[in-house]
């Protein structure tokens, strides 16, 4: 089993915890968020900063300093079910500064089905282990309403406003 490392990042809206192995990012969570480090033995993870975390921190610096960061060049390995992985792939297609509804994501996940479940999509979105890199904060209700966010709605509002400000500048 690969050694896991944890490191923190102080963002303008709270501490982020970063988990990786030597080659890939496994988790990015705001401290205290729902589903924090789910599936990991937090005390068994070593404190460390492998090169992949150095690269991630540069990406986070760019994001929070207002650079428009489309996508990422990180190796990521989010742990989840096949369904969650599919939803998270769709989330990565949402452009910086834009949003997508749960229903729109359901159409991407089940394109040939009349049976779509925005609620199931919401469950997968909420368990996203890679905050910001997999931009679950860009998911809104069908009418554009700001809905739940595992790290708190106030952080989601800040992130969306930050991206809108950067796009308009």
The 3-class secondary structure across the chain, one letter per residue, is CCCCEEEEEEECCEEEEEEECCCCEEEEEECCCCCCCCCCCHHHCEECCCHHHHHHHHHHHHHHHCCCCCCCCCCECCCCCHHHHHHHHHHCCCCCCCCEEHHHHHHHHCCCCCCCCHHHHHHHHHCCCECCCCCHHHEECCCCCCCCCCCCHHHHHHHHHHHHHHHHC
- Is 136 a residue of the active site? yes
Q: Which of 19, 94, 130, 136 is catalytic?
A: 136
Q: Residue 47 and residue 57: Cα distance in Å, rounded?
A: 15
Residues acting as catalytic residues: 136
């Amino acid at each position: 089993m690969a050694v896991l490392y944890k490191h923190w990042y102080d963002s303008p809206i709270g501490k982020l915890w970063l988990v990786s192995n030597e080659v890939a990012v496994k988790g990015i969570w705001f401290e205290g968020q729902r589903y924090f480090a789910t599936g990991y033995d937090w005390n068994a993870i070593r404190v460390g900063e492998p090169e992949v975390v150095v690269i991630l921190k540069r990406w986070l610096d760019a994001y929070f300093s207002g650079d428009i960061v489309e996508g990422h060049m990180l190796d990521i390995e989010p742990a989840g079910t096949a369904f969650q992985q599919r939803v998270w792939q769709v989330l990565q297609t949402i452009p910086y500064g834009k949003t997508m509804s749960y229903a729109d994501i359901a159409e991407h996940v089940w394109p040939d089905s009349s049976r779509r479940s925005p609620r199931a999509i919401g469950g997968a979105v909420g368990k996203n282990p890679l905050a910001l890199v997999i931009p679950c904060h860009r998911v809104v209700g069908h009418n554009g309403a700001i809905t739940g966010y595992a790290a708190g709605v106030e952080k989601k509002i800040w992130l969306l406003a930050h991206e809108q400000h950067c796009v308009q500048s």
